[in-house]
Amino acid sequence: MRRFDYDLITLGAGSGGVRASRMAGKYGAKVAVIESSRVGGTCVMRGCVPKKLLVIGAHFGDAFEDARGFGWTIDGARHDWPAMIAAKIKELNRLEGVYRNLLRNAGNQLIEGRGVLADRHTVEIGGKRITGEKILIATGGWPAIPDIPGREHMFTSNEALDLMHRPERMVIWGGGYIAVEFAGIFRALGSEVHLVIRADHVLRGFDGDVRAHLTTELEKKGIRIHKGRTITKIAKAGATYTATLDDGTAISADGVLAATGRAPNTAKLGLAEAGVAINGKSAVVVDGWSRTSVENIFALGDVTDRINLTPVAINEGRLFAETQFNKNPMEMDYANVASAVFSQPAVSVVGLSEENARKTHDVLIFCTSFRPMKHTLSGRDERTLMKLVVDRKTDRVLGCHMVGDDAPEIIQGLAVALKCGATKAQFDATIGIHPTAAEEFVTMRDPVAPPAKA
Ligand code: NDP
């Protein structure tokens, strides 16, 4: 006789929850997965996947222009936004079906509804109670919008991916991942885009040279960046929205996108009732095994606010299942997780920024900026940046940074090198592939001069 209805109850059918549940099922566990929205979660339904499809769609505009330099004549190219959104919706419906099948094939039971913890072993879904020996919280995050007058007039990345018409004039609030990615999409498809950022450069937390380079490239694309500014209110008159900045500037637009960060989905989940501790940012507190303050309750992915990236959540899910259901304890290594921002041009990094590395290491910096080969004929004024941060003492490469076409594809390979502890000498001993942009990463010979002491 089982003491509980299930071996595992997972709250949230996003990337992390699905991976953990499928693997637990594969190892023989009886699993229930509870989802209140679409199966697939943020990444597949409201984030990475649809966003990347729109980024790919937006890139064609520049490609058509660039083709002229290579002898092409492309007359009458027009973009049909509703057609792109319809194609995207169709693909997401297909993917949702794939995710449902994955759960079914793993023997997991999908329960659609909102799950709330009643106690440390009991989950209530619409008045029905089920019990689980272990409970996994994988409820992800949700857009956080500052509380200003007119906040209800803004939309978020959730809705931006489903707009039935492209706003001709857009205001985007924030300078993080989501802000620069959507700025690129809308600008490339013809919208007037205003980006309102508190700092002088986009992408706080990234390497300073990367931030400065991308900020310049976005401006070259015609994105109007309002630096050192914030939005104090939004007013709506008819179909027009007016964003007022803290210096009094008023920007009129057809839509205002709030890309001001995301917060963990921990509200009204019954966490306090079950004794699960959350931190000051409302994230579930976990140890290295994704265990919460309650022994049989675990949490992973964005709801824990560790590294908020899909592949990290997926790996946390895999390791959780290995540890709890396959007698194979595995702890996650958070070092050298590569990431990308699908701005135009794209950014990708692995390892430490120069600023962070300097806090603990004596470093050598190698940096190059060049015009990509394509643009020698296309005439486009766009430059690629590549940068290596190297430990002077050990010669180990601590960080690789790139802004430019294909940056995510290139950095993924370098992430393997960093995971293996590659040195600059090993980078130098690697023969480049010619002619590529990537070869610059193995041909940077001379360090740049260190910054002048203040
Ligand atoms: P980010 O944390 O990246 O950026 C938030 C932006 O909003 C920052 O520019 C921040 O400014 C600004 N901001 C926050 N609060 C305020 C405020 N009160 N007033 C004015 N400005 C404010 O969040 P995103 O929403 O862009 O993305 C959320 C997360 O989603 C990311 O951290 C990432 O983990 C994930 N993501 C990953 C992607 C990828 O891997 N390609 C793509 C999209 C999202 P400041 O810098 O001054 O603090």
Q: Render pLDDT for 298-313 as a digit per residue (tens, 0 to 9).
A: 999 999 999 999 999 9
Q: Given a cut of 80, is residue 45 above it in pLDDT?
A: yes
Mapping DSSP to helix (H, G, I), strand (E, B) and coil, where does residue 243 land?
A: strand
Task: Report the pLDDT value the prediction gives residue 449, as an integer from 0 to 100.
Answer: 78
The CATH code belonging to domain 151-260 is 3.50.50.60
Cα(348) to centroid of ligand 1, in Å? Answer: 16
Q: Given a cut of 70, is residue 282 above it in pLDDT?
A: yes
Q: How far is CA 360 from CA 104, 336, 357, in A?
A: 48, 16, 6
Task: Report the pLDDT value the prediction gives residue 451, as an integer from 0 to 100.
Answer: 67
Structure tokens at 43: 């990444």
Task: Report the pLDDT value the prediction gives residue 146, as an integer from 0 to 100.
Answer: 97
Q: Given a cut of 80, is residue 255 above it in pLDDT?
A: yes
Residues having CB within 6 Å of any atom of ligand 1: 146, 174-179, 181, 197-199, 204, 230, 259-262, 308-309, 339-342
Q: How far is CA 296 from CA 95, 136, 375, in A?
A: 32, 9, 57
Residues with a catalytic annotation lie at: 434
The tens digit of pLDDT for each residue in 124-169 reads 999 999 999 999 999 999 999 999 999 999 999 999 999 999 999 9
Nearest alpha carbon, ligand 1 atom 31: 177
Containing H/E element for 35? strand 31-35
Alpha-carbon torsion (168, 169, 171, 177), positive or negative: positive
The tens digit of pLDDT for each residue in 226-236 reads 999 999 999 99
Cα(144) to centroid of ligand 1, in Å? Answer: 9
Q: Given a cut of 60, is residue 453 above it in pLDDT?
A: no
Task: Report the pLDDT value the prediction gives residue 337, as an integer from 0 to 100.
Answer: 98
Which atom of ligand 1 is least distant from the CA of 47?
A: 43
- Pairing outcome for strands 231-237 and 240-245: antiparallel
Q: Indicate the pLDDT class of residue 67, thresholds 50, 70 and 90.
A: very high
| pTM, rounded to two decimals | 0.96
The share of the chain scoring above pLDDT 90, in percent, equals 98
Which atom of ligand 1 is least distant from the CA of 342?
A: 41
Q: What is the DSSP letter of 184?
A: H
Q: Given a cut of 90, is residue 454 above it in pLDDT?
A: no
User: Is CATH 3.40.50.410 what the domain over 339-442 is classified as, yes or no?
Assistant: no
Q: How far is CA 40 from CA 9, 314, 384, in A?
A: 17, 12, 34
Q: If you average pLDDT over residues 386-412, what whole number do you get?
A: 98
DSSP 374-441: HHHHH-----EEEEEEEETTT-BEEEEEEESTTHHHHHHHHHHHHHTT-BHHHHHHSPPPTT-SGGGG
Residues 427, 442: contact at Cβ < 8 Å? Answer: yes
Q: Given a cut of 60, is residue 222 above it in pLDDT?
A: yes
Nearest alpha carbon, ligand 1 atom 25: 261
Q: Which of 177, 232, 342 to mutate to test the pocket of ligand 1 (most atoms within 8 A of CB)?
A: 177
Cα(370) to centroid of ligand 1, in Å? Answer: 29
The CATH code belonging to domain 6-143+263-325 is 3.50.50.60
Domain ranges of the chain: 6-143+263-325, 151-260, 339-442
Cα(175) to centroid of ligand 1, in Å? Answer: 7
Task: Report the pLDDT value the prediction gives residue 361, as an integer from 0 to 100.
Answer: 97
Integer Cα distance of 260 and 42 in angstroms: 16
Q: Which residue in 5, 30, 36, 25 sits closest to 138, CA to CA?
A: 36
Structure tokens at 407: 């940056």
Backbone region of residue 151 per phi and psi (left: phi > 0; alpha: psi in -120 to 50; beta: other values) = alpha
Cα(230) to centroid of ligand 1, in Å? Answer: 14
Q: Which of 171, 262, 309, 337 to mutate to test the pocket of ligand 1 (most atoms within 8 A of CB)?
A: 262
The average confidence (pLDDT) of the chain is: 97
Q: Given a cut of 60, is residue 112 above it in pLDDT?
A: yes
Task: Report the pLDDT value the prediction gives residue 2, as an integer from 0 to 100.
Answer: 79
Integer Cα distance of 299 and 26 in angstroms: 20
- Asked if the domains 6-143+263-325 and 151-260 are classified in one and the same CATH topology, the answer is yes
Q: Given a cut of 80, is residue 443 above it in pLDDT?
A: yes
Task: Report the pLDDT value the prediction gives residue 285, as an integer from 0 to 100.
Answer: 98
Nearest alpha carbon, ligand 1 atom 33: 308
Q: Given a cut of 80, is residue 418 above it in pLDDT?
A: yes
The share of the chain scoring above pLDDT 70, in percent, equals 99
